[in-house]
Amino acid sequence: MDEARNDSETTRRRWRRTDVPIRIGVSRCLLGDAVRFDGGHKRSRFVSDELGPFVEWVPVCPEVEAGMEIPRPAIRIVQPAGTDDEADQRLVEVKSGRSHTSAMVRYSKSRVGALADEDLCGFVLKKDSPSCGMTRVRVWSEQGGATRDGRGFFARVLEDRMPLLPIEEEGRLEDPQLRERFVTRIFAYRRLKLFFDARWTLGELVIFHTEHKMQLLAHSERRYRELGRIVADAKQRPRSEVRDSYSETFMRALATQATPQRHANVLQHMAGHFRGRLDDESRRELADTIDDHAAGLVPLIVPITLIRHHVRRLGVEYLADQIYLEPHPKELMLRNRI
Ligand code: SF4
């Protein structure tokens, strides 16, 4: 028991460390740098002012780094006639038709290759850009019409090369649910990396998995059960296979949007740990608060605060260790808005 306890303390010190910088790639114009084609920037208040103090930015401007000037002619993605594959698309200047395709493809492969060694925990991309946009970027036909179903040239290489990396666009981060999910994922990815980048034991993996139980359940019960099977079978498989399949399933679980109903299920599950230890009034108050959140009447922070209060007061150690109670810094106030 003492050994298990020591094991737990050691693990917690390692993957719950908060002094390790959390490095996030970012489209440079979002930080306020004047690198856009028109000589301007697209400073994002959330990126610069709110998330900024908690992360270390790794700024990237694909167009400037690929050799284009500031200011420069506007460029766009064009799908050549008779093709429908993303790989056939071209990156061309709107007015002259001059192609930057090969330069951007070459640059993106080399830059993303270098970024793979930068220990990134996430990436924030500029929406709509033919280089940085992650989703719904305009793709023009040679006749002139456009569809909004493309990916920027740099963004596609980044996504394809680093499939587990949490990536979002600044526009989508205006949505409180997507913002909370993204920040949850970047902090979870750092914990995952801190865990697997050091020497780890199967006992520690059990603790890691157990402490993420409520967080995982809030996103995907199916993936949580899948992860449980990976942990249970870990002894029979090579360690690298366990690490890879646990990491992939863990990040896929957290990529599923947590909904008010899933939060309600998790909160009720946690409330079950207080059974027989709360007076009627406190029990009713907690149940009502959980229902109010599920009905959209109060933000998630309300039932969470009440649960934390009871966990502390009653000394429920199992719940006190749950990441779900504080998956990211409370100063970001993300759960005050969902
Ligand atoms: Fe540079 Fe990307 Fe911003 Fe365009 S969207 S200015 S390529 S960082």
Using a 6 Å cutoff on CB, does residue 36 contact ligand 1? yes
Structure tokens at 259: 């909904």
Q: From first to last of its 338 residues, what are the pLDDT tens digits of the chain?
A: 344 444 455 445 689 988 888 999 999 999 999 999 999 999 999 999 999 999 999 999 999 999 999 999 999 999 999 999 999 999 999 999 999 999 999 999 999 999 999 999 999 999 999 999 999 999 999 988 999 999 999 999 999 999 999 999 999 999 999 999 999 999 999 999 999 999 999 999 999 999 999 999 999 999 999 999 999 999 999 999 999 999 999 999 999 999 999 999 999 999 999 999 999 999 999 999 999 999 999 999 999 999 999 999 999 999 999 999 999 999 999 999 99
User: Which atom of ligand 1 is closest in space to residue 37's alpha carbon?
Assistant: 6
Q: What is the 224 CA–ligand 1 centroid distance (Å)? A: 37
Q: What pLDDT does residue 3 have?
A: 40
Residue nearest (by alpha carbon) to ligand 1 atom 4: 36
Q: What pLDDT does residue 20 have?
A: 86
Distances (CA, A) of 231 to 198, 205, 216, 228, 249: 18, 7, 14, 5, 11
Q: What is the 69 CA–ligand 1 centroid distance (Å)? A: 12
Asked if residues 119 and 193 have their Cβ atoms less than 8 Å apart, the reply is yes
Residue nearest (by alpha carbon) to ligand 1 atom 6: 36
Residue 333, judged by CB atoms within 10 A of its CB (0-12, 13-18, 19+), counts as exposed
What SS3 class is residue 66? Answer: coil
Using a 6 Å cutoff on CB, does residue 108 contact ligand 1? no
Which of the listed residues 129, 135, 138 should we mutate to test ligand 1's pocket, taking the one with most ligand atoms within 8 A of CB? 129
Using a 6 Å cutoff on CB, does residue 27 contact ligand 1? yes
Q: What is the 162 CA–ligand 1 centroid distance (Å)? A: 20
User: Which atom of ligand 1 is closest in space to residue 131's alpha carbon?
Assistant: 7
CB atoms within 10 A of CB 145: 9
Which residues have CB under 8 Å from 99's CB, separation 6+? 90, 91, 92
Residue nearest (by alpha carbon) to ligand 1 atom 3: 29
Write out the E strands in the chain.
23-27, 56-60, 75-79, 90-93, 120-125, 137-141, 146-150, 167-169
Using a 6 Å cutoff on CB, does residue 29 contact ligand 1? yes
Please report, to the nearest 10 degrees, the dihedral formed by the alpha carbons of residues 163, 178, 49, 184 taken in order.
-60
Start-to-end CA span in the chain (Å): 39
Q: What is the 111 CA–ligand 1 centroid distance (Å)? A: 14
Structure tokens at 105: 């493809």
Q: What is the 151 CA–ligand 1 centroid distance (Å)? A: 14
Using a 6 Å cutoff on CB, does residue 151 contact ligand 1? no
Using a 6 Å cutoff on CB, does residue 131 contact ligand 1? yes
Q: What is the 131 CA–ligand 1 centroid distance (Å)? A: 7
Q: What is the 163 CA–ligand 1 centroid distance (Å)? A: 21
The torsion angles phi and psi of 292, rounded to 5 degrees, stand at: -65, -35
Strand (E) or helix (H) holding 4 = helix 2-15
Separation of alpha carbons 322 and 319, rounded Å = 5
pTM here is 0.94
Asked if residues 322 and 218 have their Cβ atoms less than 8 Å apart, the reply is no
